A = this chain, B = another copy of it.
Amino acid sequence: MAKVSPRTLSGFMELLPRQQMKMERMMEVLRRSYSVYGFTPLDTPVIESAEVLLAKGGGETEKQIYRFTKGDSDLALRFDLTVPLAKYVAAHYSELSFPFRRYQIGKVYRGERAQRGRFREFYQADIDIIGDGKLDIINEAEIPAVIYNTFTKLGITKFKIRVNNRKILNGFYAMNGMSEKAGEIMRTVDKLDKIGAEKVRQLLIDEVKMLPCKAENVLDFMAICGSNAEVIARLEYYRGMDETFDQGLDELIAVTRYLGEFGVPEENFAIDLTIARGLDYYTGTVYETIMTEHPEIGSVCSGGRYDNLAEYYTDKQLPGVGISIGLTRLFYVLSEQDLLSDDFVSAPCDALVIPMTEDLGFAVSAATALRAGGIRTQLYGEKKKFKAKMSYADKLGVPFVALVGEDEISEGVLSVKDMHSGEQIKLSPAQAAEFIREAVEKRNESAVIKE
């Protein structure tokens, strides 16, 4: 028979088992961390009506969208989790309680040009808090705590949450008569990290056509740094010149005020006036998260405050704040840079029961006892030589094998072999469950990301 080549499409991540276990662990950490902050899980269809998904219309993403017809229906695959959330909240408005806090970890689709590290199908892991009419600033103050907790639990300690407020930027440009050029200026300032202050100054003068003194003003403002208290003290000099600026400054002060009580250490947090995050959507606090020893990865968790989640679907004013982790891309770069830990158990099972007799009765009972004790257990039932069985255990990276021969059966025990140390010990199935559980729990304390 002619065979079809079993290929996977380019731009679609498909992992081998041990890598997949690491991805699952990352997802589990995210689910757990988001839940601890009172976000409820949500699941929405991958396919939506194209009319609904593209209600906002136009834009850079539209070309990338997977859109097709089925029967009479014009359909599209979701390209983010925000539009489906807007639809969900508008559709179920009367059945929800506000503030509505949801998390969603799901696949989204963008038919980007295929290139290394770019994915057409990728997981996003989002949280959002949606208010009905209004939403208190305390919600914006809480977001850095969620980011801090999530990344710490993933195993990263060297990261910085950079925070800014769009009202401060807009107010600053207004007070300097630069509002019309604000978009262009922000796009140029965004290059500071990459090309440095001098080149940005030149671009502001040559391309944005600013007067040198105005360009200097912008650069001076963007260069404000120091502790939160120092930055805020510097920003206070600008107070009273623009209402939007003052409001933004008040919000920034509120966001930083409870950082300590929220458990976010100052070294993981920085006000950074260069952060802007897109141009039309965000209206208040904006966030980026940088792994400080791997700045080349870029922001691994971003988001901000917006005023109107679902304006294309409803007249209700639904302000919100949210952040998103591009999980597939994050996993990819961590893996490429060898930052994923091998210390926890990524084998399919914690114990492989290897029978060495014809009758499997005791081996089966023992496997059942281990499972009842919570041990992920595989019974190796193939009729192979002992060496082949042990080689299988080795290849899977199983931490323990439990050997069952004539002696073990007559004594009612398992010979439990630690595949790492090579040590072997005879234990009853119940003792073995206890022994293996302790050892595996200890190994699994290791975080998924190493630094």
Residues of A within 8 A of B (CB): 1, 3-9, 12-17, 20-21, 23-24, 35-49, 51-52, 55, 66, 68-71, 73, 75, 86-88, 90-92, 95-97, 99, 101-102, 107, 109, 111, 120-121, 131, 134-136, 138-139, 142, 145, 149, 258, 261-263, 310-315, 347-349, 352, 360-362, 364-365, 368, 371-372, 374-379, 381-383, 392, 395-396
Contacts and interface: CB of A to CB of B under 8 A. Distances in A.
Contact of A97 (B36, B139, B395): B395
A71 to B, nearest CB: 7
Contacts of A135: 382
A4 B40 contact: no
B20 A91 contact: no
Nearest to A377: B38
Nearest to A134: B382
A4 B396 contact: no
Contact of A149 (B3, B48, B364, B371): B371
Given A23-B43, A66-B68, A360-B258, A131 B371 contact: no
22 contacts: A4-B313, A6-B87, A6-B310, A7-B52, A9-B47, A9-B48, A13-B45, A17-B102, A20-B43, A23-B43, A36-B377, A38-B376, A46-B121, A134-B382, A136-B381, A138-B364, A138-B381, A139-B381, A261-B361, A261-B364, A261-B368, A263-B372
Contacts of A86: 6
Contacts of A15: 43
Of A44, A52, A55, A348, the most chain B CB neighbours within 10 A belong to A348
A100 to B, nearest CB: 8
Given A138-B360, A258-B360, A261-B368, A107 B16 contact: no
Contacts of A360: 138, 258, 261
Contacts of A99: 382
Lowest 8 CB-CB distances: which A-B pairs, in order?
Answer: A38-B378, A68-B68, A138-B381, A40-B348, A38-B349, A261-B364, A6-B90, A6-B313
A281 B1 CA distance: 17
Given A6-B86, A9-B45, A37-B377, 4 more contacts: A6-B88, A38-B352, A97-B396, A261-B365
How many copies of the polypeptide does the oligomer hold?
2
Given A36-B376, A379-B138, A381-B139, A52 B4 contact: yes
A7 B70 contact: no
A44 B381 CA distance: 27
Contacts of A368: 145, 261-263
B5 A97 contact: no
B258 A39 contact: no
B45 A8 contact: yes
A20 B40 contact: yes
Contacts of A12: 45, 47
Nearest to A363: B261
Contact of A36 (B101, B361, B371, B381): B371
A90 to B, nearest CB: 4
Given A45-B121, A90-B6, A364-B258, A38 B348 contact: yes
B37 A20 contact: no
Given A49-B9, A92-B16, A136-B383, A1 B311 contact: yes
Contacts of A372: 263
Given A14-B44, A20-B42, A392 B97 contact: yes
A305 to B, nearest CB: 14
A107 B3 contact: no
A64 to B, nearest CB: 10
Contacts of A69: 68
A313 B1 CA distance: 10
A376 B8 contact: no
A372 B42 CA distance: 24
A47 B121 contact: yes
A278 to B, nearest CB: 21
A3 B312 contact: yes
Given A66-B70, A102-B17, A396-B97, A24 B45 contact: no
